[in-house]
């Protein structure tokens, strides 16, 4: 019996701006959530009696992570070793830093510790297990392969795989696990420079029976024969991912179902984006809306736009109290914006040419065309204005 747990991108330290700040030595709640999920993943490994875990990469969000995050991950690897579980870590794009042709990685410190159960892969390599062989494909882009075009880089990767396949015995299930985006996948902000990023056509992996990729955070199947999918990341790390179900893959070559998806119990994220129309009481409207939402243990983000420039103010205290009463974990952001009343051209000369700071902020934000970030920008600027005038009064 030889079972493998395939784990998506970890991204320790991602999304801390959305988390509840730690007090004293306590962790930011986003980091605490990530550590909790790692411990849950280890429990799954123990419960399913797996022999190994293969992690698709991006262990840390930053290429120079905080030392506390490094310690937390090393402690987790040691607990895996204590339970006789091997850890195979594929280098992702967040794990490497390039200076010219020279690569360094924070994962080098893990290799330097020389944990008996842990291996880091910065080059393509195939590991042999009972019943299945796993080709591990680390992150590559056009520059890292020294190619002048993306097509040339894809040819380079495609040319390497037959050598790995040739080393796999006949009758053994052929599996590839890597950290490269697949052509046709739905992705958001995790991909880098389009001129260097590789989007691999699924035909490249025709020699494999199963392909499981990291890098793209949304779990999605790209092909059924052979089976090719992105396993995604282990946690919701942006509000654009709200509603996604993150997964682990349990791979057992001796089972009738060779692989199965295990849902990960991520903390829910709830994003409330509402436009308050003219003649509507904004507070009562939002209270009614909140009464129909499940907010238990959730991170909540509110982006409210008032369409009526002269409409009533929102009672923020009542809204916050209602969200907390409904069991939300933390309100990550609460921003408001309001349409600016347009002054007819023939009346402008009758007005003073000055404008109050908050109205100026709204006008400037409209000029910048910030899209989804406009509400947060306005809220931040308004807070700066309030802080400035409060200091003047004191």
Domains of the chain in sequence order = 4-263 (3.60.21.10), 269-393 (no CATH)
| pLDDT tens, residue by residue, 330-375 | 999 999 998 765 545 554 443 344 556 766 776 676 666 666 667 6
pLDDT (0 to 100) of residue 11: 96
- What is the spatial distance between Cα 142 and Cα 156, in angstroms, rounded to a whole number? 10
Contact present, 247 and 229 (Cβ < 8 Å): no
- Predicted confidence at residue 101, as pLDDT, reads 56
Is the C-alpha dihedral spanning 135, 139, 140, 141 positive or negative?
positive
Structure tokens at 78: 């040691």
Say if residues 304 and 320 touch (Cβ distance below 8 Å). Answer: no
Expressed in angstroms, the distance from the first to the final Cα of the chain is 72
pLDDT digits (tens, 9 = 90+) for 106-128: 888 887 887 889 999 999 999 99
Distance CA 63, CA 106 (A): 7
pLDDT value for 349: 44
Strands 199-200 and 259-263 come out as unpaired
> Over the chain, what is the mean pLDDT?
88
The lowest-confidence range among 49-53, 123-127, 184-188, 295-299 is 184-188
Beta strands in the chain, from DSSP E residues, in sequence order: 4-7, 52-55, 86-90, 96-99, 102-105, 118-121, 125-129, 132-137, 173-178, 181-182, 199-200, 210-213, 220-223, 227-230, 247-251, 259-263, 269-276, 299-306, 330-338
175 or 187: whose pLDDT is higher? Answer: 175
User: Which class for 303: exposed (0-12), middle (13-18), buried (19 or more C-beta within 10 A)?
Assistant: buried
The token pair that represents 128 in the structure block: 């042999």
Closest CA relative to residue 287, chosen from 257, 334, 319: 319
Q: Report the alpha-carbon distance of residue 259 to residue 273 in Å, rounded.
A: 38
Residue with tokens 């801390």: 16
Instruction: Label residue 130 by pLDDT band (50, 70, 90).
Output: very high
Tokens of 107: 């994962």
Q: Could you tell me if 133 and 168 are in contact, meaning their C-beta atoms sit under 8 angstroms apart?
A: yes
Q: Exposed (0-12), middle (13-18) or buried (19+): which is 56, by Cβ within 10 Å?
A: buried
How many CA atoms does the CB half-sphere of 246 hold within 13 Å? 26
Q: What is the pLDDT of residue 103?
A: 72
């Amino acid at each position: 019996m030889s079972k493998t747990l395939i784990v998506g991108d970890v991204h320790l330290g991602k999304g801390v701006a959305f988390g509840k700040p730690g007090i004293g030595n306590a962790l930011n709640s986003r980091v605490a959530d990530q550590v909790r999920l790692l411990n849950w993943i280890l429990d799954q490994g123990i419960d399913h009696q797996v022999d190994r875990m293969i992690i698709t990469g991006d262990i840390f969000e930053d290429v120079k992570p905080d030392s506390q995050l490094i310690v937390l991950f090393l402690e987790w690897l040691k607990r895996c070793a204590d339970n006789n579980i091997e850890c195979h870590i594929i280098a992702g794009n967040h794990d490497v830093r390039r200076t010219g042709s020279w690569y360094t990685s924070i994962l080098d410190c893990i290799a330097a510790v020389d944990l008996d159960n842990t291996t880091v892969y910065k080059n393509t390599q195939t590991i042999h297990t009972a019943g299945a062989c796993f080709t591990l494909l680390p992150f590559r882009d056009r520059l890292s392969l020294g190619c002048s075009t993306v097509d040339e880089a894809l040819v380079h990767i495609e040319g390497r795989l037959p050598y790995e396949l040739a080393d796999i015995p006949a009758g053994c299930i052929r599996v590839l696990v890597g950290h490269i985006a697949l052509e046709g996948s739905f992705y958001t902000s995790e991909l880098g420079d389009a001129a260097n990023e590789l989007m691999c056509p699924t035909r490249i992996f025709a020699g494999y029976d199963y392909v499981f990729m990291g890098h793209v955070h949304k779990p999605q199947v790209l092909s059924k024969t052979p089976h090719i999918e992105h396993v995604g990341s282990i946690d919701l790390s942006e509000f654009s991912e709200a509603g996604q179900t993150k997964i682990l893959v349990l791979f057992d070559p001796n089972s009738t179902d060779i692989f199965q998806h295990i849902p990960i119990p991520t903390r829910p994220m709830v994003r409330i984006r509402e436009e308050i129309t003219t003649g509507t009481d904004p507070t009562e409207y939002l209270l009614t809306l909140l009464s129909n939402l499940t907010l238990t243990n959730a991170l909540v983000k509110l982006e409210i736009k008032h369409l009526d420039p002269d409409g009533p103010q929102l009672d923020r205290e009542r809204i916050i109290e209602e969200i907390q009463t409904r069991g939300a974990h933390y309100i990550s952001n609460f921003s408001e914006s309001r349409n600016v009343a347009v002054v007819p051209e023939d009346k402008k000369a009758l007005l003073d040419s000055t404008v109050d700071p908050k109205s100026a902020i709204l006008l400037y934000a409209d000029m910048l065309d910030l899209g989804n970030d406009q509400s947060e920008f306005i809220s931040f600027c308004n807070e700066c204005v309030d802080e400035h005038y409060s200091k003047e009064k004191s």
